[in-house]
Structure 1
C-alpha cells in the first residue's frame, strides 16, 4: 500500500469511541507466571537475560498522567532505567503530547518514520488492529511469539479465555498485552459520596435515583454545596458515567451493550430520554455542577476540597486515595465512601457498572512493520511475562521499592512516604508499572498494598455488586473494512449524541425533541453500525 494511501487511511476517519479508564488489577500470586526457560519448548527459543546486544530499540508511548510534571521524559524514570538494565536492551523513547495519543499516532504514521515499538490502544486504530497489520504499519506476531516469547506463549496457553481476547477474529496476535490476572481487581471505579455529610444530616446512603435526588438536594440546602454532584467530563462530556453510573439505573449504557445476546446502543433506546430528563431536572435544581459539561480532574479536586461537591464518580486508588487527604487536612472527620450504582427500584441489582475484562486494550505494545529488530523486540517484551520481569513491573527493584517479607513483596516507604513528597500514585509510576499499563500481568499483591485505607477496599466490594458481566460487550473486533465503516458511522453518531445530550440536559433544547434526534441517528446509519457489532460478536463467540 502506498504511503499516500496509508496517510489517507489514517486521517480520513477517527476511531470508534471506547471506554478507557485508568485501571488497577493484578495477577493471582497462587498462579505464578513462568520463569525463564533454559531449554527449547517445541519451536520456542528461550532467552537469557540480560541480552547481550549493542542494538537499541526505539519506543513510542504516552507518559502516564501520574508522571506529568514529575519527570520530563521516560529516560529519567527509575523503572525504565531498571527495565533496560535487566533486559540488557537500550530503549530510546519518544512520546506524544499528554492526552493526545491518538493525534500523535496519526501524525507519526503519516510521517512514515515509525519506531520499533508502539504502545497504544490498537482497538482505536481506524479499521482496527487487523487493518493496521494489513496496511503495513505493525507486524502480525504469531510466528515471532511462537519462536521467541516462551513466557507470554505459556501464559496464554494456560489462560485460553485471555488468549481469545488478545487476538483478532482471524487469529492474529498484534501486540504484547497488558493483562489483569485477578478477577477481583477488574473493578476499581464507582459512585463516591461524603459519608460524614450523610451522618450529619441523618441520611442513609442513596441507592435509587429518587434517593439520590433527595440526598443531593439536602447537600445543596443544608451543607451549602454549590455543585452537589460533579464528575469529570473530559475528553467527552459526561464520559465518567459511561461505565454505568446514573445512566445505568435506566437499564441502558452510553455505549454499545448486550441484551439477550443482542447488541444495542444506549442513546437510541427510549430510556435515554428518561435519563436526560432526570439530569435536566437535576441541573435546573442546581444539583449538578453548573460546569458539568467541561469539568476536569483539577475541578473535581478543588470542588471536593472546598466542600462545593459532596458526590462524584471516581477510582478507589487515584480518587478516594487522593481525595481523602485533601479533605481530612481541613476536617479530620471528613469521610468519602463508595456507594452502590444507582437503580430505579429499591433492592434491584445494578445492571451496569465499571468492570474491565482481564485484557485491557490500553498498553498493548506492537512492533512496527519496518523494524529491523523484531526478534530482539519480542525477546525484550517477553521479559515482562517472566517471573523476574513480573516482579519488576509490579514491585520494582528489590531493596529500593520493595523487600521480601516471608516471600511477600512488601513495598518500601519510598512509595508511601516519598522523600520528595510525591503522592503514592506518582511514586508508584516512578518505580513500577503496577498502577498503569504495559506489557505484563498485574499482581494482586500490588493492589493489596496500594489501597492503604479501608474506604478504598470497602468501595471496591460495593462496586462489584452489579450484573455488568451479563451486559458488557466482550473485546470484539470488526473486520478491517467493517471497522473503517463503523468508525465513520460512530464518529457522526457520537457527535450527534453529545450535541443532543448537552443541549437537553443544559436546557437549550427540549427533551420532547428526542424523537427528532432519533430520526437523525437512523439517517446516520445506526442500523448498519448495530449489524457490524452483532456480526463481530458472533465471530468472537466462535473464536
Structure 2
C-alpha cells in the first residue's frame, strides 16, 4: 500500500495543487464486493452508545472556519470532546493548518500514513471517489454499511434520491456524508441591497435589470457610493455569480447546466455576451466597483459598512447576519435586505439561482483503506444518523448549548449571546456542527434560530423563488479515465473565460471580441468537456 501511494502521489499532488480536479484494486476491495446496502440483508443491530471499547481511532480533518483565531485543535473544542464521550470512542484528531487543507492532504498521502478517518471532499480527488477507492486510499463501504451502520442504511432506504447522490456510478459507497435534511436548508445566497437607501430615495426593491441600473445610478449620484455594486473576486473574479445572479437574467450561468436535455456551458452561450455588455456599461458608468478584480471579503465588508457599496451578493448568515448589526451600530436606520434574482421582464420567474444539493460534499468522512479499525469507525460515524446523534450534531448538549422548550431545542445564550463576546457562528462551532457540515443530517431548526433576523428569514424564502431545479445538473462525476482529460480541458477553458470576461468588462477588449473567444473555446476542446458532462449525466440517471 505505502509503495503504491508513494508512486501515485506526485501526479495526484500536481492535480490538487493546480485546483484543476473535479469529482473511482485495493487490497480491501475483495472484502468490499457487496452491492448497495440492501433492505433485506441481515444487519447488526444499531450500536448501543457509548460503545464499550479500549481502542483509539485516528481522524484527520479541518476545524470549521468559524474557529480560526478561537481554537487551533480539535481536543480544545467541546463538541469533539463530547462526541467521544457520547460514542464511547477515543479519537486522536489531526487538523491541517487553516486554509491549507489541500496542501496538507497531499503531504499526508505522500507520507503513506493515513488515519482511520479522513474528512475531505473526495470530489476534489483526481478521478473522484471511485478512483480514490481503486488506488487504495479509501474503502468501499457497501458491506460495512450493510453490517454496522443501520441508522445510515435506514436513512438511505427512506430517501432514494439522496441514496442516488451519495454513491458512485458503479454503486460504491465511499463516505459518511453531510446531508441537508430539509429543502429550506439548500438555498442561502443571493443579491443583497441597502434597504434604507431605497427608502430614502423612494425606490422599490429592483427586480429587472433596467431597475437595477437605475437604482445603482441613484446610489452613486445621490448617496455618493464609490462602488454602487461590488463582488468578492476570490478565488476568482465573478466566481460568486456562477449560480445565476445578474448573469441568469440573460439565460445563462458561469457554469455547466442542462436545458431541454442538452448540457450547456454558460460562458459559451450568446446570453453571456449580453451579460458582459451590461457589466461593461456598469463599469464604464462607475457603477461597478473599479477594483472588482481584486476585492476580497475584508474589503467588501469595509465597503458595505462604510457606505461605499450599496449592493452585492452574499449569504443570509454570513452576509446579512454580519452586515446588519455592523451597519446599525453606526446608524440605527441602516439596513440590508435581500433582493430577488434579477430578470429582464418584470414578473417573470428567475431562471437560475443559488441552490445547493441535499448531499453537500463538504464534511464527508471516508475510512482509509489501511485502517485496522474500520468496523469501529463505521459504528462511530453511524451515530450522526441516529436520533440521538442528529440532536447532538445540530444542537449539542442539553442544558449547555440548548434546552427543550415545548419540544423545541432552543439554543442557550452560551451560543446566541456568548459571554465571551463570540459571534453566534463562532460559539456554535464550539458546541455543534449544525452551522457548518460533517457526517450527520442537518436539522432545519438550527437555521430557524441561526437566521434570527427577520431580514434573514425573508431572504431565504425570496431567493428560493427560481427555476434553478429545472436546469441544475446533479452531482455527476467523470469516470477516473475521463477525469484527467476533463481537468486539463477546463483549466484552459476557465483561463480563457476569466481573461476574456475581465478584458471586456474593464474595456481593454471590445465586446465584439466575444465571437473570437468562443472560437478559442472550441479550439481548447470545450465540446469534448461538454461530451464528458453529458456522458456523466447519462450514467447518473441510471444509478
Same fold (TM over 0.5): yes
Question: Which stretch of structure 1 is more off in the superposition, 477-486 or 465-474?
Answer: 477-486
8 Å CA contact retained: 2:22, 2:125:
no
The secondary structure found in structure 2 opposite 1:191 is strand
Shift of 1:485: 1.6
8 Å CA contact retained: 1:10, 1:109:
no
The secondary structure found in structure 1 opposite 2:139 is coil
Q: Distance in 2 between matches of 1:182 and 1:437?
A: 14
Shift of 1:108: 2.2
What is the match of residue 101 of structure 1? Answer: 101
What is the match of residue 334 of structure 1? Answer: 334
What is the match of residue 52 of structure 1? Answer: 52
What is the match of residue 351 of structure 1? Answer: 351
> Does residue 383 of structure 2 align to residue 408 of structure 1?
no
8 Å CA contact retained: 2:22, 2:128:
no
Using the size of structure 2 for normalisation, the TM-score is 0.93
The secondary structure found in structure 1 opposite 2:334 is coil
Shift of 1:146: 0.6
What is the match of residue 29 of structure 1? Answer: none
Give aligned pairs, total.
523
Question: Which stretch of structure 1 is more off in the superposition, 51-60 or 185-194?
Answer: 51-60
8 Å CA contact retained: 2:228, 2:309:
yes
What is the match of residue 300 of structure 2? Answer: 300
- Alignment RMSD (CA, Å): 1.6
Q: Distance in 2 between matches of 1:515 and 1:101?
A: 39
Q: Which runs of 5+ in 2 are unaligned?
A: 24-39
Shift of 1:41: 7.7
The secondary structure found in structure 2 opposite 1:382 is helix
Q: Distance in 1 between matches of 2:103 and 2:511?
A: 34
Question: Which stretch of structure 1 is more off in the superposition, 295-304 or 506-515?
Answer: 506-515
Q: Distance in 1 between matches of 2:345 and 2:111?
A: 55
The secondary structure found in structure 2 opposite 1:513 is helix
Question: Which stretch of structure 1 is more off in the superposition, 153-162 or 500-509?
Answer: 500-509
Question: Which stretch of structure 1 is more off in the superposition, 499-508 or 382-391?
Answer: 499-508
What is the match of residue 182 of structure 1? Answer: 182
8 Å CA contact retained: 1:127, 1:487:
no
What is the match of residue 79 of structure 2? Answer: 79
Structure 1 residues 213-257: Cα deviation after superposition (integer angstroms, max 9, x where no partner)? 111111111101111111222112111111111111110011110
Are the structure 2 counterparts of residues 513 and 5 from structure 1 closer, same or farther at C-alpha, using a change threshold of 3 Å?
farther
What is the match of residue 448 of structure 1? Answer: 448
> Does residue 488 of structure 2 align to residue 488 of structure 1?
yes
Shift of 1:380: 0.7
Shift of 1:511: 2.2
Structure 2 counterparts to residues 131-146 of structure 1, below 5 A: 131-146=131-146
8 Å CA contact retained: 2:62, 2:98:
yes
Using the size of structure 1 for normalisation, the TM-score is 0.93
Please, which of 3, 6, 9 is the counterpart of residue 8 of structure 2?
A: 6
8 Å CA contact retained: 2:316, 2:459:
yes
8 Å CA contact retained: 2:22, 2:126:
no
What is the match of residue 370 of structure 1? Answer: 370
Q: Distance in 1 between matches of 2:95 and 2:493?
A: 31
The secondary structure found in structure 2 opposite 1:13 is helix
Shift of 1:98: 2.5
> Does residue 273 of structure 2 align to residue 273 of structure 1?
yes
What is the match of residue 36 of structure 1? Answer: none
Q: Which runs of 5+ in 1 are unaligned?
A: 20-39
Q: Distance in 1 between matches of 2:403 and 2:463?
A: 32
> Does residue 497 of structure 2 align to residue 497 of structure 1?
yes
Q: Distance in 1 between matches of 2:299 and 2:491?
A: 28
8 Å CA contact retained: 1:41, 1:150:
no
8 Å CA contact retained: 1:180, 1:186:
yes
Q: Distance in 1 between matches of 2:393 and 2:410?
A: 14
Shift of 1:8: 3.5
8 Å CA contact retained: 1:17, 1:490:
no
Shift of 1:484: 2.2
Q: Distance in 2 between matches of 1:91 and 1:512?
A: 59
Q: Distance in 2 between matches of 1:314 and 1:462?
A: 14
What is the match of residue 438 of structure 1? Answer: 438
The secondary structure found in structure 1 opposite 2:330 is coil
Shift of 1:529: 0.7
Question: Which stretch of structure 1 is more off in the superposition, 469-478 or 228-237?
Answer: 228-237
What is the match of residue 230 of structure 2? Answer: 230
Structure 1 residues 86-125: Cα deviation after superposition (integer angstroms, max 9, x where no partner)? 1112222222332332333223223322222111211121
What is the match of residue 169 of structure 1? Answer: 169
What is the match of residue 519 of structure 1? Answer: 519
Q: Distance in 2 between matches of 1:514 and 1:242?
A: 19
Shift of 1:133: 0.7
Q: Distance in 2 between matches of 1:501 and 1:106?
A: 32
8 Å CA contact retained: 2:177, 2:360:
yes
Q: Distance in 2 between matches of 1:487 and 1:18?
A: 7
Q: Distance in 2 between matches of 1:523 and 1:436?
A: 41
Structure 1 residues 179-223: Cα deviation after superposition (integer angstroms, max 9, x where no partner)? 011112211111010111001001111111111111111111110
Q: Distance in 1 between matches of 2:504 and 2:136?
A: 44
The secondary structure found in structure 2 opposite 1:168 is coil
8 Å CA contact retained: 1:176, 1:365:
yes
Question: Which stretch of structure 1 is more off in the superposition, 170-179 or 48-57?
Answer: 48-57
The secondary structure found in structure 1 opposite 2:419 is coil
Q: Distance in 2 between matches of 1:491 and 1:320?
A: 33
Structure 1 residues 131-162: Cα deviation after superposition (integer angstroms, max 9, x where no partner)? 11111111111011111101000000011111
Q: Distance in 1 between matches of 2:360 and 2:266?
A: 22
Q: Distance in 2 between matches of 1:216 and 1:173?
A: 49
What is the match of residue 205 of structure 1? Answer: 205
8 Å CA contact retained: 1:177, 1:365:
yes
Q: Distance in 2 between matches of 1:398 and 1:41?
A: 36
The secondary structure found in structure 2 opposite 1:329 is helix
Shift of 1:17: 7.1
Q: Distance in 2 between matches of 1:101 and 1:281?
A: 39
Are the structure 2 counterparts of residues 18 and 484 from structure 1 closer, same or farther at C-alpha, using a change threshold of 3 Å?
closer
Shift of 1:521: 1.4
Are the structure 2 counterparts of residues 461 and 17 from structure 1 closer, same or farther at C-alpha, using a change threshold of 3 Å?
farther
Q: Distance in 1 between matches of 2:469 and 2:306?
A: 37
